[in-house]
Structure 1
Amino acid sequence: MSAVMNASTPQFTEMRLQADGGVVAARSGGEGAPMVLFHSLLADDTSFDRVAPALARTHKLFILNLPGFGASDRVDGGLEAVADRVAAAIRAMDLEQPPVFLGNGYGGFVALMTAIRHPGLASKLVLADCGAAFSEPGRAAFRGMSAGAKEKGLAGISDLAMRRLFAPSYQAAHPELIEERRARFVAVDPQTFHAACAALSTLDVRDQLAKVAVPALVLVGEHDEATPPAMSTELAAGLPDAKLVVLPGCAHVPQLQEPEQFLEAIREFVG
């Protein structure tokens, strides 16, 4: 392992976890109860950089690059295989207690699927801007993005991707952040992107939510167009022990758009 610095203290360390026949890359840092962070489809582990320093003051963080992102090996087999690979990586961390799972967007779906398939692995779930199933227009959007990327490449759909992350007014006011996020999106492995779009376009775990026996905090940006608030409302209603919080003024990635609001929303729940 080699030490690297995050955007702010504390120091984070790069990890390579041998998991279920592949490597899962992560950064770890901080002290306290463990917490594992799962990033969105249109990003990578750096999408938590604006909240990681604060979270690391109270928790031992493990910021994943999900399978197929960054230095993590790709895995075939849909969200189920991604969840199983992630579960193996978390077990390889050899933690003294079950961690909190915190997922945003695609990462929220992966965190939820991991909790469903591997009971007892998580102590709590923070599920930001995700759900249990998409509407038909939502499913069609993933099919359309995948088709567009096959025709024009990820760069050719980057404007659409940014719109799914941030409202136009926010983009206009924060051009540097948008270009940074665009560069991260364009660097996503295309095969992983297409596989994730295919998985999300057919996902429906509503009948499995009752299996989740741990407390959940479901967050959603008020202006999220990618996973609209109705999806989070349905998710929270289907989980046995869940609270729903709508984040005013936010879109799909509240931890990037309004990090202080995001941290305040989860602080009491994560402890």
Structure 2
Amino acid sequence: MEAQPQTVHLSDGCAIRAKLLGDEPGKPLMIAHHGAPGLSTHLEAEAAYGDFADKFRVLVFDMRGCGDSDKQRPYTHAQWTHDIDELRQWAGAEKCVMIGASHGGFLTLEYALTYQQHLYGIIVGDSAAQVSHWGAINMTKAALTDPRVKPDPEQLVRMLSGNCRDQDDLMTGFATIAPLYAAPDAIKDLAEIDAGAVISKSIKPFYETVNAAMNDCASRYDVRDRLHEIKVPAFVFVGRHDWITPVPCSEFIAEKIPTSKLVIYQTSGHFAALEQKTPFQRDVREFIKTLGIPEFKA
């Protein structure tokens, strides 16, 4: 039977829309975080990681300020990370595996640094340890020089710096750069699915959340000097053609986390877990076998 959405009321009264995939007794918990606060929802995480429900109870959800969850502030990494731990408790698990890509990768790293005692391991994809490590300037340059797109320069800067004027400003701006998230056309034919089509189904935009994530949160996000504190095993992955968090960002994460493994998917863009789903699933499942999860059955 297909999992049904549930409403989880957090301690501050915020209502979070969540689903437990593969919710069967005895399975360990995997928390799967979507990316792009204010643009994405649990549907992205479900598409990318839902197949792990054969071995896990996979918790997917719309983060605070996204999708069908409450638009209750604050929109900060500290609050979003605390929300994740309340969801873990709601799911009734002392420990879990956490997986997230892009901004979901930021929060996976933040969760590991704050709640490491509740983790078997983490899986971090197409992400970075500091936003200015790649930064709005580099993203703007990449978008303005790629022949696949022709964004309005001023609108692009507003969006990437967290200064969208309204919903229309956000969505028209995002539409102009959406092709950049997939691998280039010459390579994209090798991908198993069109990741962009999957992601577009999950978009339920809120420009205030995007602005907070791209401005206030991004300006404060920097875990470079703390990555060595993460002692649980880490699987780090990235698409070779990721334009927004390019390969060196993931290489840095893998270098600084002492227990990490890095995999680069050669024909992927920013959605490696979707664009090369078969090798991604294979590699992650092999990684999970090494975590020593008591409830896990290979």
Q: Which residue of 1 aligns with 2:59?
A: 62
Normalized per residue, which structure has more strand?
Answer: 1
CA apart distance, 1:228:
0.5
Please show how residues 70-219 of structure 1 align to structure 2 within 5 Å. 70-74=67-71, 75-95=73-93, 97-135=94-132, 138-140=135-137, 141=139, 144-145=158-159, 146=161, 149-150=164-165, 152-169=168-185, 178-179=196-197, 181-182=199-200, 184-185=202-203, 187-198=204-215, 199-219=217-237
CA apart distance, 1:59:
1.0
CA apart distance, 1:170:
7.7
Question: In structure 2, what is the Cα distance between the partners aligned to 1:264 and 1:204?
Answer: 31
Question: Is the CA contact (8 Å cut-off) linking 1:47 and 1:256 kept in structure 2?
Answer: no
Question: Is the CA contact (8 Å cut-off) linking 1:148 and 1:156 kept in structure 2?
Answer: no
Deviation sequence 1:16-72 (CA, Å, 0-9, x none)? 222231222211121422101001104221113444452111111111212211122
Q: Which residue of 2 aligns with 1:36?
A: 31
Question: In structure 2, what is the Cα distance between the partners aligned to 1:170 and 1:68?
Answer: 37
Question: Is the CA contact (8 Å cut-off) linking 2:40 and 2:202 kept in structure 1?
Answer: yes
Question: In structure 2, what is the Cα distance between the partners aligned to 1:241 and 1:109?
Answer: 18
- Give the 3 Å change call, closer, same or farther, for CA 229–160 of structure 1 in structure 2: farther
Question: Is the CA contact (8 Å cut-off) linking 2:103 and 2:127 kept in structure 1?
Answer: yes
Coordinate RMSD, CA, aligned: 2.6
Deviation sequence 1:180-236 (CA, Å, 0-9, x none)? 533533x22211111111112442111221222211111111110111110001111
Question: In structure 1, what is the Cα distance between the partners aligned to 2:134 and 2:234?
Answer: 27
Aligned with residue 242 of structure 2, among 224, 241, 251: 224
Aligned with residue 19 of structure 2, among 20, 27, 33: 27
Unaligned runs of 5+ in 2: 141-156, 290-298
Question: 2:34 is matched by which residue type in structure 1?
Answer: H
Question: 1:132 is matched by which residue type in structure 2?
Answer: A
Aligned residues: 260
Unaligned runs of 5+ in 1: 1-9
Q: Which residue of 2 aligns with 1:4?
A: none
Q: Which residue of 2 aligns with 1:14?
A: 5
- The secondary structure found in structure 2 opposite 1:252 is coil
- Give the 3 Å change call, closer, same or farther, for CA 79–53 of structure 1 in structure 2: closer
Deviation sequence 1:94-146 (CA, Å, 0-9, x none)? 21x41100101111111111121223122110001112113465233486424
Question: 2:206 is matched by which residue type in structure 1?
Answer: D
Question: Identity, % of aligned pairs?
Answer: 22
Question: In structure 2, what is the Cα distance between the partners aligned to 1:144 and 1:168?
Answer: 25
Question: Is the CA contact (8 Å cut-off) linking 1:132 and 1:231 kept in structure 2?
Answer: yes
Question: In structure 1, what is the Cα distance between the partners aligned to 2:162 and 2:48?
Answer: 33
